[in-house]
Amino acid sequence: MTLPKSLALGLFMPRLWGARITRVTVNTWRYSWSPTNWPRVEVVEETLKRHEVRLLNRKTLPALDLPKVKKNKFVEILPINVGCLGACTYCKTKHARGHLGSYIVDSLLKRVKTVKADGVKEIWLSSEDTGAYGREIGVNLPILLNAIVAELPPDGSTMLRIGMTNPPFVLEHMKEVTTVLHHPCVYSFLHVPVQYGSDGVLTAMNRKYTVSEFRTVVYTLTELVPGMQIATDIICGFPVETDEDFAQTVNLIKEYKFPQVHISQFYPRRGTPAARTKKVPSTTVKNRSREITSVFEAFMPYNGIILGSSAMVNITFVGRWSVFGEVIEVLTQIDVQKALNNVPNQEKLSPCSNQYESCACSKEPEPCSCGPDIYGEKYWGAACCGLTLLEPQ
């Protein structure tokens, strides 16, 4: 399929903005152009011809204030760096985005101040690897995080979520990162991809850490940060994978019962070392993917933590029949009672507006108009609509 040139530009150009392309690999031949003689449109044209184009160096980073079309106006996705320090045998990120390039702290703080003033309620730090931030410019992730949280309002009205980090780099800053995760304006959440539960497969992937090091990260975070939630990734069917390797991966997922596991099947990307390795039969890959998905779906990670409890939440999206949000803090019974005591007396009265009419809540409950048949039974008005919303004091 050939994409319209305007659409192709929109898809590919943000990654190459300000880049200097000095060499292109076309199938098995290499050609050289000077940066001035090879405009960005030719990068797109060569890519659409399925030719391999590599970003060799980067002159500038994309501006942080470029116009955006947001799905959620209350969320700002803030890239802190582009590119990658890794060289995974299955991945082409480095081909497309080049070596690590980090934004300076002042530029990121300026953007944080701008979006906070615009009414943004959540800031998501994004990157191919947040843990690697600043290594090429003499700073690090804890320096950036401490600078950002210093700009956030202490009442938690603007929250920060830290993006994906690979185990090797976050291991260097575990104490500082756990301190930041304790901050009331920072979600107790981190995405740490393990990719596989076997050291042999991790070596073949060139991931540059061991399962033991990943365990150290998980153990430290869960022990030191109350309510810590960790997401991870698993790739099923990597070429050197054996039954024993897969069993170790399943056991790792069972042991930690991660609340989020992103499960994917290995796909050979042309030009990567893994693509030249003998593949695991597709039926085996599918069966293993189904098995590990079933293991994950059997968990009830929020039982006893959130389910049935009261919590402070940050609502991020309101749909027709549902409301989505993120838990900021699970409240104790004492916290709930304090909140109720702060509600003015008139707000504690019955929702019935006319004391001379029969109260609606004394009648036989009827199915709520917004209550579709969910979980095999109707939602009743009292359960569905009878919510007490507490306004901030």
The per-residue pLDDT for range 102-126, each reduced to its tens digit, is 999 999 999 999 999 999 999 999 9
Task: In the chain, count H helices and then E strands.
Answer: 14, 14
Indicate the pLDDT class of residue 79, thresholds 50, 70 and 90. very high
Report the alpha-carbon angle 148-149-152, nearest 5: 100
Does 382 map to a domain? yes
Does 180 map to a domain? no
Q: What confidence score (pLDDT) does residue 342 get?
A: 67
CA 158, 159, 164, 166: dihedral to nearest 10 degrees? 120
Report the alpha-carbon angle 384-372-352, nearest 5: 30
DSSP 157: S
Can you tell me the mean pLDDT for 368-384?
A: 38
Does 131 map to a domain? no
Q: Give 247-296 pLDDT, tens digit per residue.
A: 999 999 999 999 899 999 999 998 899 999 999 999 999 999 999 999 99
Does 216 map to a domain? no
Q: Give 199-209 pLDDT, tens digit per residue.
A: 999 999 999 99
Single out the residue of 282, 295, 175, 181 nearest to residue 239, CA to CA: 282
**Number of domains the chain contains:** 2
Does 18 map to a domain? yes
Does 309 map to a domain? no
Q: Which two tokens stand for residue 387?
A: 């919510």
DSSP 151: T
> Which residue reads 């082409």 in tokens?
92
How many CA within 13 A on the CB side of residue 312?
16
Residue ending a domain, choose from 59, 80, 101: 59
Contact 125, 164 (CB under 8 A): no
Residue ending a domain, choose from 34, 59, 84: 59
Cα(74)–Cα(123) distance, integer angstroms: 9
Tell me the residue range of the domain where 13 lies.
Answer: 1-59
Does 27 map to a domain? yes
Single out the residue of 124, 121, 142 nearest to residue 133, CA to CA: 142
Cα(113)–Cα(199) distance, integer angstroms: 43
Q: SS3 sequence, 189-233?
A: EEECCCECCCHHHHHHHCCCCCHHHHHHHHHHHHHHCCCCEEEEE
Single out the residue of 341, 326, 383, 24 nearest to residue 156, CA to CA: 326
| pTM: predicted TM-score of the whole model, two decimal places | 0.69
Indicate the pLDDT class of residue 363, thresholds 50, 70 and 90. very low
* Percent helix, strand and coil across the chain, each to the nearest 5: 35, 20, 45
Single out the residue of 172, 76, 67 nearest to residue 115, CA to CA: 76
Cα(369)–Cα(380) distance, integer angstroms: 9
Single out the residue of 177, 93, 104, 75 nearest to residue 129, CA to CA: 93
Does 129 map to a domain? no
